[in-house]
Structure 1
Amino acid sequence: MNLKEVLNLADKIVFTKTGQHLDDLQEAVLRGTFERETYKQIAKDFDCSESRAREVGSELWQILSEELGEDVSKSNFRSAMQRWQNSNILNFAQNVSGSFNICGDSKHSSDTPNSHAHNEETANSKQTKTSHQDLSEMPELGVFYDRTPQLETLKTLILEQRCRLIALTGISGIGKTTLAAQLVQQIKDEFEYVIWCNFETSPTLAEFQDKLIQFFSQPEQLDSPATNQKPLPLIKYLQKYSCLVVLDDIHNLFSSGELAGKYKPGYEEYRYLFKNIETLSHQSCFLLIGWEQPREVTQVKNQNPTICTLQLTGLDIEPARELLRNYGLGEIENYSAIIHRYQGNPFWLKSVGNQFQELGECVIELLQDDTILLPEDLQDSLQQTISRLSDWEKEVLSLMAREGDGIKLVKLIENTKIPPSDLVNVLQSLWRRCLIEQQGSCYILPNVLREYMKFRSPTSSRSRGFTDS
């Protein structure tokens, strides 16, 4: 169908449902959708807000879905209209309440005595229609503290630059999963298939591929049950449909006690999956979430537009202050210093906030004295991270914690028995894990991590031991 035919048909459907023809913004949304524009582009062309364009789009998809007996969304609008064109004209006229047909002849519900039964059958078919979004493993959206720049960056990478493989990384507690969940809620209608997969159970590649193929192929099998179609290889579905696949807790694919990104035995084949996603032509996107990422996904900016990494840092001052205010800490004099001390890490700030709510003013006094508090849940989180490190990484972190302010590579070489070439690899691994920072020629250990390493050093009588694996 061409654009004129689509708009004419959509106008008739909207008029039948609402008694009003398409307004200018509704037509702009349909026109932009037909031409595969994003809501952001549509809003820019029409000179309105993106949220307004999304709201109008959502209303249109609801009307079309109700009148035509299938779930219509921005991602499948064109294909849905094409299916309608190929359907029987008489049945089509009945499905849209018997008020018109494609040829424009008037037809009323009184002319079709069985229309009521037919509409009930259509309604029942809608209820059994398989959704193309499986977000059952995505966590519920809680309080979301503003990360507009990061959201816009991810939207641009996915919807405009069409990146195929994106790694969202950052230290534990920084808010990667929360940001990704907010992102998915905002862009899910741009894709024909959306699925969120939690890797906490470390599925093998075969298990993971089978899960995706079953999800992608199920609607086709329901549409044509008699044909008993054999599922296609995974890459074929990624090429045939626009798919958004989110892999949360991807670090569970990698070995403890090794440098960052080394696959556990039996999981090495994931390397070839990620390589195919990067190099083969398709219209889908994989978003990898974790504080450890595959070595194939570099954090260095390069000229490859199909693969990229976004390292998430702490909240800005105002969102972080809003978080502190929820725990009664937002009005203290040095709130910005506290935010800086805890690097704007939402989990760390919440942990201290919980401690304040339980203990009250004494905690405020300690915070104002530049003391770094380490509540038990914060320690547990850091311990989970540290226990995955190699012995060399733990040695370097302990040395950096004793040194206090930044330390240069030359001094690290002088004070460790790690060969220089291996030491460089260790520093690269710690940087990829977002555990150290680099300022000029010095390497810096964040305040909270430095305090934790000093508190849990091997010489401490309260050490939990760094040899955990």
Structure 2
Amino acid sequence: MNLKEMLNLADKIVFEKTGQHLDDLQEAVLRGTLQRETYKQIATDFDCSESSVRKVGAELWEILSEELGEEVSKSNFRSAMQRLQNSNVVNFAQDVVVSSTFNVCAGSRQPPDIPNSHPPNEETSNTKPTKTSHQDLSEMPELGVLYDRTSELDTLTTWILQQRCRLIALTGISGIGKTALATQLVAQIKDEFEYVIWCNLDESHTPDEFQHKLIQFFSQSENLNSPPTNQKPLPLIKYLQKYRCLVILDDIQNLFISGELAGKYKSGYEEYRSLFKQIKTLFHQSCFLLIGWEQPREFSQIESQNIPSCTLQLTGLDIAAGWQILKDKGLAEIDNYSELIHIYQGNPLWLKSVATLIKELGGCVSELLQDDPILLPEDLKDNLQQTVSRLSDWEKQVLSLLARESNGINLAKLLENTKIPSSDLVNVVQSLLRRCLIEPQESFYTLPLVLKQYMITTMYR
């Protein structure tokens, strides 16, 4: 069992005993114990007194000892949880437990990530809780054709349903197919959740308004299943802990300011940082999927093990999927389709745009591409202009320099040929990488051919 699985299993035990999930300090004590930290280290990390940590620890060991039927302490917590998993007494996957000391009724809600268990007998293995699903997908685009993306779908499904990631960023250059992938994903997994909502973020979604929208959705749906009361709605995190929720936020880049490096929040939107941090760090059983050209700076492209957040950066389609797009546009018979797909990097939007242009001009690719191998239809230029207009002046400097070079450029040459201080240049390059606008090739950086052509066109206009 890994750290996350042990925490989830402990949460289940505590919930069945007390009716409450682990709070922040309880989770910190268990996490620190599994990471072999002292009470003093845990207290320092959590910014509280050592006596508070010791008191919470003692309460947890008492609960776990009663429920597991053995003496559990800080020194043997890991081994006790491992023995529980290996005992085959507990069947969390089917919501059934058969034990003289630990009795869970079928229908109780389960926490994330309960590993490898099997039904104790055939009679109880088919007993599953009835889940009422509330879905607001009014803002989700219509489910269209998804070209391939099988491996990406599998990755996201694993992260969400098996690994129980709490916060996921789906990123990539405009037109690469992020939203199309997400709609297909939601269609496949939405029935695994009690609450599902899709939100397209725009200027109206201030942090307070956004949280109010979610709380209203959860509380109104909750009231449909219970007698009316005068009880006030819970804080957002409480709903995420109480129910298994899937929240999709599309166009996340609208939270960030144009003209700055990637991921800087607009004035008045900074509270989203605290919200995403809370979703990432506090224990709950829900998932937020963020979709956009940019991602919050709190995300790392390389996440550490046991951190409940992930980033999936979409790249272009392969030749077979790209050819299917050309075929659907009526260009199935062209000779050099693989070259066309390579030039436009398997970007679905770019391929559809250039295929439409070629088809409307008669479909003779060889003549169209003889003098200018990279065509830029007006709608494609509009799309690229929208992307480039969000960049800082320093980022535009780097793109202009890369556009003039036939080969890649390393950091030393970028520093030599721009007026960007070295301490800032690395942040500029990181921002462009996170926007998927430049490509690393060993120690060099290059521009996609389409973007290079656009930059040249705008520089000499």
With the length of structure 2 as denominator, give the TM-score of the two structures.
Answer: 0.72
Q: Secondary structure at the match of 2:311?
A: strand
**In structure 2, C-alpha distance between the alignment counterparts of 1:317 and 1:34, rounded to whole Å:** 45
Within 5 Å, give how 1:281-320 maps onto structure 2: 281-320=283-322
Q: Which moved more, 1:327-336 or 1:420-429?
A: 327-336
The answer on whether the counterparts of 1:221 and 1:228 sit within 8 Å (CA) in structure 2 is no
Q: Pick the aligned partner of 2:448 from 425, 446, 449.
A: 446
Contact kept, 8 Å, 1:342 with 1:447, in 2: the verdict is yes
The alpha-carbon deviation at position 134 of structure 1 amounts to 0.4
Q: What's the counterpart of residue 239 of structure 1?
A: 241
Spell out, residue by residue over 1:292-347, the C-alpha distance to the aligned partner (whole angstroms, 9 max, x if none): 11000111232243011000011111111111111122332221111111010000
Compared CA separation, residues 273 and 242, structure 1 to 2 (3 A): same
In the alignment, structure 1 residue 132 sits paired with structure 2 residue 134: yes
Percent identical: 70
User: 3-state SS of the aligned residue for 1:245?
Assistant: strand
Summarize the Cα distance change of 1:404–1:299 in structure 2 as closer, same or farther, 3 Å threshold: same
SS at match of 1:265: coil
Alpha-carbon contact 2:246-2:288 (below 8 Å) kept: yes
Q: 1:78 aligns to what? A: 129
Q: Deviations over 1:245-287 (max 9, x none)?
A: 0000000000000000000000001000000001000000000
TM-score (norm 1): 0.71
AA of the residue aligned to 1:392: W
Q: Which residue of 1 aligns with 2:38?
A: none
8 Å contact from structure 1 (residues 356, 364) kept in 2: no
1:165 match: 167
- Aligned-residue RMSD, C-alpha: 2.6
Other structure's SS at 1:168 match: strand
Contact 1:165 1:308 in 2 (8 A): yes
Equivalent residues of 1:170, 1:434 under 8 A apart:
yes
2:325 corresponds to which letter in structure 1?
L
Q: Do 1:436 and 1:446's aligned partners in 2 also have CA atoms closer than 8 Å?
A: yes
**Map 1:314-333 → 2, pairs under 5 A:** 314-333=316-335
- Give SS of 2:129's match: helix
Cα distance between partner residues in 2 of 1:186 and 1:370: 43
**1:78 is matched by which residue type in structure 2?**
P
| Deviation at residue 406 of structure 1 after TM alignment | 0.8
Question: Using the alignment, how far apart are the partners of 1:441 and 1:329 within structure 2?
Answer: 38
User: How far 1:37 moved relative to its partner?
Assistant: 12
Pairing of 1:56-455 with structure 2 (within 5 A): 78-79=129-130, 132-367=134-369, 371-455=373-457
Mark the runs of 5 or more structure 1 residues left unpaired by the alignment. 1-30, 46-59, 61-73, 81-129, 463-469
User: Does the CA contact (< 8 Å) of 1:355 and 1:363 recur in 2?
Assistant: no
Letter of the aligned partner of 1:231 in structure 2?
A: P
Instruction: Label 1:336 to 1:301 Cα distance change in 2 as closer, same or farther (>3 A).
Output: farther
**Matched residue, 1:113:** none
Counterpart of 2:129, as a letter, is: R
The 8 Å contact of residues 410 and 445 in structure 2, kept in 1 or not, is answered as yes
Aligned CA distance change for structure 1 residues 303 and 202 (closer, same or farther; 3 Å): farther
Alpha-carbon distance change, 279 to 339 in structure 1, aligned in 2, over 3 angstroms: same
Note if contact 1:198-1:249 (Cα within 8 Å) is conserved in structure 2: yes
1:225 positional shift: 4.5
Q: Would the aligned equivalents of 1:338 and 1:367 in 2 still touch at CA under 8 Å?
A: no
Q: Give the deviation of 1:202 after TM superposition.
A: 4.5
1:162 is displaced (CA, Å) by 0.7
Give the counterpart letter for 1:306 in structure 2. Answer: P
Following TM superposition, by how much is the alpha carbon of 1:131 offset from its aligned partner in structure 2, in angstroms? 6.0
Aligned length: 350
Which structure: larger Rg?
1
Could you give the per-residue CA deviations for residues 333-389 of structure 1, whole angstroms, max 9, x where no partner exists?
221111111010000000011101210134443346670000000000000000000
What is the deviation of 1:404? Answer: 2.2
Q: 1:134-159: per-residue Cα shift (whole Å, max 9, x none)?
A: 00000001122111000000001111
- Counterpart of 2:339, as a letter, is A
SS at match of 2:168: strand
Q: Runs of 5+ in structure 2 lacking a partner?
A: 1-91, 97-109, 119-125
